Amino acid sequence: MISDVIREKAEIVNREIERILTVNEPEGLYRATRHYLKAGGKRLRPVITLIAAEALGRDSRKVLHAGIAIETIHNFTLIHDDIMDEDEMRRGVKTVHTLYGIPTAILAGDTLYAEAFEILAKSDAEPSNVVRAVSKLARVCVEICEGQYMDMSFEERNDVSESEYIEMVRKKTGVLIGISASIPAILFGESREVEEALWNYGIYSGIGFQIHDDLLDITGKDKIGKDWGSDIVEGKKTLIVIKAFEQGVELETFGKGKASREELERDIRKLVDCGAVDYARNKAREYIELAKSQLDVLDDTPAKSHLLELADYLIERDY
Amino acid sequence: MISDVIREKAEIVNREIERILTVNEPEGLYRATRHYLKAGGKRLRPVITLIAAEALGRDSRKVLHAGIAIETIHNFTLIHDDIMDEDEMRRGVKTVHTLYGIPTAILAGDTLYAEAFEILAKSDAEPSNVVRAVSKLARVCVEICEGQYMDMSFEERNDVSESEYIEMVRKKTGVLIGISASIPAILFGESREVEEALWNYGIYSGIGFQIHDDLLDITGKDKIGKDWGSDIVEGKKTLIVIKAFEQGVELETFGKGKASREELERDIRKLVDCGAVDYARNKAREYIELAKSQLDVLDDTPAKSHLLELADYLIERDY
């Protein structure tokens, strides 16, 4: 089962995170900085990095730090995004700014940001490849910011198109999974063809992953560790909502800040009935198939099978 | 005159900043991201980088991008610090979050953060030296966060000691000037002795610089481009205030959020009369002398003289 593979690799990641991302002085800052890291999470990104290294026939231990650097960046974006979105819950725990205040939460994110580059720079690889990896991770971070900005600015617009949504998601979610999959190719100096195949595998997987995440927000009920239906009441332009709006569907709780369970259920019924939920589900599947087809350039190995299964898993998980 | 040297080098820096840090899409994000960069500033940090390269007998053009990376980090910290400190003015213009809102300001800082590492990674130097520079800049960024956190937490304490203040300033201000001066040594692969001498030159200069900055807040009147006396009304534990408190001086406007010009002038008179202002001024001078003495390991060159003059300049400027 791929979920067992993920769990086993996540354990390796967790042990190393615990070893290198310690609580230093000033303690108040580091407690905030480590808050989400300690709250768990599936470690999907570093797990992808480890499996991708194996799929290249390489020693995955040599990319463990690169994977953790990426997970660290992911955690920084969660902290800052939660401030921007004013979210109160994440992974079943209170958000960092809710617990520690906005100034400390900003600094906690900033601290992780730097630690990520410090960890990546320690990678056991050819220095010229490490420089390329740093450069690529930095570019990815710029694009994540652009994606998050697009996501926020979409809230003020009612004419967001599907292709704008895909571009936003590619930047906000895709590129970090893209680098998770391709950073072993960069660090081991593989051909550009292989690097690009893994990059695209990650990008398309990430888009499918995000569409599925949007679906979970309205179908996942209580398993997801944050408020159910929060995307709708916050007025997020998800693919589901974009499709529904195209058909003239009106949602009474959309962007209202809060709603009763009954009101939300009525709106969600409308999203299902107009076919928008099915449309999004099919799109997610399409992107995952596209992701998997990228891996044709790799030799058939157990690790390659894991990457294929993992892509499917991204849109099958219910949390 | 050192001010002419600074101006001339700053011009070189500004031209390259304009060339590489452009306004991209989404424009709303990049306008916020470039706001302080366009508002000017003395570019002291990259200027120090250029002069330090010359003092090593090297081609300063090869460290221009490293200097700009450091200036970019500096600008990111200004944006985030202004959010945390709730400051409304900076360099004579409105602060980023005042103009664009807190979410966009957080993202603008995050964008600069990544751009800095991307620019540094493009340095024209041995890859192994570039990796070391990335690692060092990342560590500096972690320490800046720690310093800013200390600065904020000092506001809640009345027993901050002089040594705690110096440690805070070393992290908040010193280390970024330390890397400005030492990054040419890292990139050109100089001896650790030379690298450390330049690092310490920067650290001590930075501490003197910050103490002088604190002095300007209460003696600089209207030239400094931000609110006069703002450190006092915001309750900042500067060396001046720490010294005054040690002697039992009571300030009526301290930490009050706002104050009339008359009230502020009364408090500042007290700070002068108890000797705290003179004490801080002497401390700033001591640190600058300590900074200059670090450069004994370098050959006497015009560039070395410029570094010595620049250290003096840091505590002589009136804005």
> Is B310 a residue whose pLDDT tops 80?
yes
- For residues A105-114, average pLDDT: 98
- For residues B47-64, average pLDDT: 98
> Is A319 a residue whose pLDDT tops 90?
no
Q: Which of B81, B86, B97, B107 to mutate to test the interface with A (most CBs of A within 10 A)?
A: B107
Confidence grade of residue A230 (pLDDT, cut at 50, 70, 90):
confident
- Within 10 A of A263 (CB to CB), how many other CB atoms are there? 17
Confidence grade of residue A229 (pLDDT, cut at 50, 70, 90):
confident
Residues paired with residue A90 on neighbouring β-strands, in sequence order: A93
CB contact under 8 A, A107 and B29: no
- Is A303 part of any domain? yes
Confidence grade of residue A196 (pLDDT, cut at 50, 70, 90):
very high
Contacts of B29 in chain A (CB under 8 A): 145-146, 149
pLDDT in tens, B139-184: 999 999 999 999 999 999 989 999 999 999 999 999 999 999 999 9
CA-nearest residue to A129 within chain B is: B127
- Is A109 part of any domain? yes
Q: How far, in Å, are A34, A79, A135 from residue A101 at the CA level?
A: 15, 11, 32
> Is A178 a residue whose pLDDT tops 90?
yes
Taking the CA of residue B26 and the nearest CA in chain A, the distance in Å comes to 7
CB contact under 8 A, B29 and A115: no
pLDDT at A258: 87
Backbone angle region of B160, left / alpha / beta, with phi > 0 → left and psi within -120 to 50 → alpha: beta
Q: How far, in Å, are A35, A42, A164, A306 from residue A204 at the CA level?
A: 29, 19, 15, 16
pLDDT in tens, B258-309: 899 999 999 999 999 999 999 999 999 999 999 999 999 999 999 999 999 9
* Lowest-confidence region among A26-30, A174-178, B215-219, B241-245: B215-219
pLDDT at A29: 98
Contacts of B28 in chain A (CB under 8 A): 149, 153
- Is B319 part of any domain? no
- HSE-up of residue A58 (Cα within 13 Å, Cβ side): 22
Measured between CB atoms, does B257 come within 8 Å of chain A? Answer: no
CB contact under 8 A, B106 and A118: no
- Is B243 part of any domain? yes
Higher model confidence: residue A261 or residue A97? A97
Contacts of B214 (CB under 8 A, 6+ apart): B231, B236, B238, B239, B240, B280
- Is B105 part of any domain? yes
pLDDT at A1: 92
Q: Are the C-beta atoms of residues A16 and A83 closer than 8 Å to each other?
A: no
CA-nearest residue to A105 within chain B is: B84
Q: How far, in Å, are A287, B126, B250 from residue B220 at the CA level?
A: 60, 44, 22
- Is A85 part of any domain? yes
**Residue A201 to residue A178: CA distance in whole angstroms:** 7
pLDDT at B66: 98
CB contact under 8 A, B111 and A29: no
pLDDT at A318: 81
Counting the structural domains of chain B, the total is 1
**Residue B222 to residue B232: CA distance in whole angstroms:** 16
- Is A270 part of any domain? yes
Write down the ipTM of this complex: 0.96
Measured between CB atoms, does A164 come within 8 Å of chain B? Answer: no
Please choose, from the candidates B198, B195, B140, the residue with its C-alpha nearest in 3D space to the C-alpha of residue B170: B140
- For residues A302-312, average pLDDT: 98
Measured between CB atoms, does A66 come within 8 Å of chain B? Answer: no
pLDDT at B225: 54
> Is A222 a residue whose pLDDT tops 60?
no
The two tokens of residue A26 are 């000033």
Q: How far, in Å, are A124, B85, B251 from residue B235 at the CA level?
A: 46, 11, 10
**Residue B152 to residue B150: CA distance in whole angstroms:** 5
Rg of chain B (C-alpha set): 19
pLDDT at B230: 85
Residue B224 belongs to a domain with what CATH number? 1.10.600.10
Residue B281's domain comprises: 2-314
Confidence grade of residue B221 (pLDDT, cut at 50, 70, 90):
low
CA-nearest residue to B147 within chain A is: A26
**Residue B282 to residue B38: CA distance in whole angstroms:** 34
> Is A231 a residue whose pLDDT tops 60?
yes
Go through A85-118 and write b for each residue having 16 or more CB atoms within 10 A of its CB, e for each that does not. bebeebbebbbbbbebeebbbbbbbbbbbbbbbb
- Is B160 part of any domain? yes
Phi, psi dihedral angles at B94 (to 5 degrees): -65, 145
